[in-house]
Every structure is written in C-alpha cells, then in structure tokens.
Structure 1
Amino acid sequence: MIDAIDEQILTILQENARTPNAEIARHIGMTASAIFERIKKLEKQGIIKGYEVRLCPDRIGLPLLAFVLISLNEISKMHMTGKQIAEIPGVQEVHYIAGKGSILAKIRTAGTLDLERRLDQINQIKNVSVTETTIVLKTDLESMSLPISREKN
C-alpha cells in the first residue's frame, strides 16, 4: 500500500522520471537517501514498473495512429492471438475487451501503406475473423500518467 509521501513521490516521477532524489527530497521535506529507499521499495512492490523515454511519433516517422478492433473465431484462443498481434511491428498496445470485438490494438505506422501491411499481418492470423480500423486525426492527450490518490471512490 502507498501512503501520502509515496503519492507525492509518484506524482513527481510521473511528471519527470529523471527528477533527482535530492530535488524530490527538497520538495517533500525528506533526505535524498530516504527518497531513494522509498523509490526502491515502490520498485520492489511492482508499483513502479520501469522508466521509459517518450518519443514524438511524428519526428521519428510514425505519424499515423490507428486503433484496430479485432473479432475472433475462437474466444478460447484470445490470449494466444493477442500475443501474436503484439509481435507485429508498430503495435503498441493489445487489450482484451468486452463488447464489440475481442481485442483492441493500438498501432503506430509511417502511413496508410504501412498500416495496410500491418492489417494484412493481423488478418493472416488464423483466429482473426474480422478487423475494424479507426484512424486518429488528432490527439489532444496521450498519457501514461495515472491519478495518484489514496481516496477510494
């Protein structure tokens, strides 16, 4: 479980994972070594899963974002199919969903021709029956940050 100090640490690290322990310590009113120990504890508990660099997709040649709703022939093979989809280049996320379709995949590509190739790869997977693709025109918010609060709704 996390306490109010952990919440503050996590909030700061979500804004900038490279924030030095000394700076976090000054902000919270603790020593840098105490912050270090708390961060290590949060990592061991699996609350902090890792640290990543966020790239600008447009600047690295991957401006097209699409979401692909995937229906399956056999629901019992959903996880195996999801793992196959996850191996396709450009697939960023694979979600198992309720409602229309069984899997929702997030894909980034260089353009429509590249997207068409990725869709062909998805459709070649034996268990895939139908795909429905939505292309994103503009994104105002794309974030991995989670709200940190001990309050329960």
Structure 2
Amino acid sequence: MSAIQNPQLDELDLQILDILIKDCRTPYLEIARICHVSGGTIHVRMKKMEDLGIIKGSRIMLNLPKLGYDVCCFVGIHVDKTSSFTSVCDDLSKINEVVELHLVTGEYSLFAKLVCKNISDLQNVLMNKVNTITGIERTDTLISLSQPIDRNIRL
C-alpha cells in the first residue's frame, strides 16, 4: 500500500480499505481476522471512515450487457454559459441513462457517461433527452468499444 496523504487514516484503516476494495462483501469478522484485531475495532474504524466521508456506501456491480444494455458511450457537452451549469446538471440527473457526470477542463464543459440498450436507444436519448436541454450548446459522442480495465484505485 502507498502512503495516503490523510493524517486521519493509519495503516489499519488503509488495510481495511484495501480488503474492501478487493471485495466489499467481506464480513467485518473476516476483516478483523486478517488484520489481527477485534470485530468491534473494525466497526469503529468503518464508522470513522464513513463519518469522514472516505467511505460513501457500497454498490453492486452489474454486468450491463447481460441486462440488455449493450452500448456505453461518453458525451462531451458544451454548455452555453456558466450560469447554465446548475440547471443543465439537474436536467441531466433526471435521465436514467446518464450514469456519471463530470465537470471537466479542456474542450468540453461536462463529460457524461451513458449506458443504453442499443444504438437506436442511444440515438433517442441524445436527440430527445440530452440535446433538448436548455443550456446545452452541442455534444460530441464517443462510443466505447470495450472496457479492458475496470477497477477501483489501488491504495
């Protein structure tokens, strides 16, 4: 594990995070056994990291193609003016196919990750949902062909 620049975390906290990054379903008692501490210690450390906002929850990882979502794409979004950002982000958050949204530097104002069932679905989402939002000047879409790396950061 590398040194994390957070004085509120120690090596035990980092070890707990490393275990959970590998498998977030690892039971606290198993983590305690691996770390050579009590289960209560793990509960206290987890609560501390949740209170600090380091752990924001847990999620299930879905195999989207097996659920019928065969298209993943990234949409670079040009917003017409700075005052439009909040309303554009609010409107994008209401589109189920938008699974991530980033405020970015460079050519675009925002960068969104979308998942759709197929190309026809993507076309519908872009034309009838995304590009109709007031404040969006234009978009550029990049379709993902594959995802050779899918992981959390390594501590």
TM normalised by structure 2 equals 0.91
Matched with 2:86 is: 79
Matched with 2:118 is: 111
Aligned residue type for 1:134: L
- 1:63 CA drift (Å): 1.6
- List alignment gaps of at least 5 residues for structure 2: 1-7
Mapped to 2, the partners of 1:139 and 1:146 lie a distance apart of 16
TM normalised by structure 1 equals 0.92
- Structure 1 runs (4+) deviating above 2 angstroms are none
- List alignment gaps of at least 5 residues for structure 1: 149-153
Is the 1:75–1:102 Cα contact (8 Å) retained in structure 2? no
Matched with 1:151 is: none
Mapped to 2, the partners of 1:8 and 1:131 lie a distance apart of 42
State the Cα RMSD in Å.
1.0
Matched with 1:48 is: 55
Aligned residue pair count: 147
Matched with 1:36 is: 43
Aligned residue type for 1:41: K
What are the Cα deviations for residues 77-103 of structure 1, in whole angstroms up to 9, with x where unaligned?
213212211211211101011110101
Aligned residue type for 1:88: I
SS in 2 for 1:142: coil
- 1:17 CA drift (Å): 1.1
Matched with 1:146 is: 153
Aligned residue type for 1:93: E
